[in-house]
Amino acid sequence: MKILILNGPNLNLLGKREPDVYGNTSFEAYFSKLEQRFKNCELSYFQSNHEGAIIDKIHEVGFSYDGIVLNAGAYTHTSIAIHDAIKAVTTPVIEVHISNIHTREEFRHKSMIAAACKGSVVGLGLTSYDLAISYLAKVEK
């Protein structure tokens, strides 16, 4: 089972950025734990601060991987292009957010990508990624 974890803008700063919201753990450190937990899955990780690179990665794996776990960061609230990229591929995408976007600033309450995704996991910290991977690993293709 091949699953891509795809993180968007500013998520390269996890562990440093607003630790009261996002915690003290870098994503690289957390990814190592995910690899240990999900040994039955071939996990890969990609992060970009650039919308086009995120779209290109969705196109690259969107017909060959078994799942994509996507934290689009702020692009969640603005990117119709990422929404369209998700709809264009056959690989299921699970939207994740570390914080609860519905309890933050009002501009974060609307997800432009949610309607294109299989489901969403929000507000459960880094565990949001675990839950998304667990779901994808159990889905029969």
Q: Is 97 a catalytic residue?
A: yes
- Cβ distance 117 to 79 under 8 Å? no
Q: Is 22 a catalytic residue?
A: yes
Q: Which of 30, 83, 97, 129 is catalytic?
A: 97
Half-sphere exposure of 81 (CA within 13 A, CB side): 10
- Cβ distance 69 to 3 under 8 Å? yes
Both ends of the chain: CA-CA distance in Å? 10
- Say how many residues make up the chain: 141
Please identify every residue annotated as catalytic.
22, 97
